Amino acid sequence: MASIHKAVLDLKSLDLLANGNSSVHRLDARAKVLVSLVFILCVVSYGRYELAVLFPFFIFPIVMISMAGLPPLFILKKILLLCPFVLAVGIFNPVFDRQILLHLGPLGISGGWVSFASILTRSILTVGTGFILVGVTGFTAVCQALEKLGMPRVFAVQLLFLYRYIFVLTEESGRASRARELRSCGKKGLGIHSFSSLVGHLLLRTWQRAERIHMAMLARGFTGEFHASRQSGFGMPEIRFALIWSTLFIFLRLQNVPQLLGSLITGLNP
């Protein structure tokens, strides 16, 4: 339970990074959301055996982290938290796909290993971009941008509430877990029966907490509209940002850059 609570607090710390004042932070959220969507679509559109063509896309997260002043190790740790799920998805590829696709000297590499590496690389790129987007924009501003880009308001509000209630659920579960441990003398009463009771009480407590939060929101005049801490317009900086990055992503998607570089190098050094 403590590890889950720490992970959620780290997620809140990621959202707090959006209070920075870099040139990327000051851009309108819609431009950053559009660029991130184009990036993700280009990355996931590759085939399962295409691996080398993915590496030029790392330029985007590297440049964004550098320009926004985000802590790279912090972002990397957040990405590594999801690696076990990616491993669970692709770990059986080498077992079922044993066709040899390439050779490294005497070592033959099967298509399963190539597809597994491709899945892992695409996951790192897409998940990392999502974390960077939250770190330079803030989750509330992301939901506001999605609504302005055409997402129905009810979906955007539900997405924001889902994000906010993660912290509420974690706080309630932390209190209930600590109370359960303090009442267990000599580590007794920590079995499955007490755990099932804990889950039931946690559901009731979070339900009551949600009702109190909803009443407080209505008392403060909540009408379903977003109020982001940073208000900006879609001007020339946003247009340049979206056009430059989107053009680069489409170029990388249409052209095999590693192959072009390899041909250029071999042409210069026959």
pLDDT at position 182 over 90: no
The bridge status of strand 100-104 relative to strand 107-110 is antiparallel
Helices (H), the chain: 2-16, 29-44, 59-68, 72-81, 83-90, 93-96, 111-137, 139-148, 153-182, 192-219, 236-254, 257-268
- Higher pLDDT residue, 14 or 242? 242
Q: Is 69 helix (H, G, I), strand (E, B) or coil?
A: coil
25 with 157, same domain: the answer is no
User: Predicted confidence band at 2 (pLDDT cuts at 50, 70, 90)?
Assistant: very low
Selection from 192, 150, 174 nearest residue 3 by Cα = 174
Which tens digits make up the pLDDT trace of 99-120? 776 666 677 777 778 888 888 8
37 with 168, same domain: the answer is no
Structural domain includes residue 24: yes
pLDDT at position 8 over 60: no
Structural domain includes residue 158: yes
User: Predicted confidence band at 149 (pLDDT cuts at 50, 70, 90)?
Assistant: confident
220 with 138, same domain: the answer is no
Structural domain includes residue 29: yes
Is 39 in contact with 61 (CB distance < 8 Å)?
A: no
Single residue among 151, 180, 208 that ends a domain in this structure: 151
126 with 170, same domain: the answer is no
- Tell me the pTM: 0.78
The rounded Cα 118 to chain-centroid distance in angstroms is 18
pLDDT at position 59 over 90: yes
Domains contained in the chain, number: 2
Structural domain includes residue 247: no
Structural domain includes residue 230: no
127 with 163, same domain: the answer is no
65 with 115, same domain: the answer is yes
- Residue 48: give the domain boundaries: 1-151
Structural domain includes residue 258: no
Give me the residues paired with residue 102 across strands. 109
pLDDT at position 249 over 80: yes
2 with 105, same domain: the answer is yes
Percentage above 70 pLDDT, the chain:
81
Query: What pLDDT score was predicted for residue 110?
Result: 75
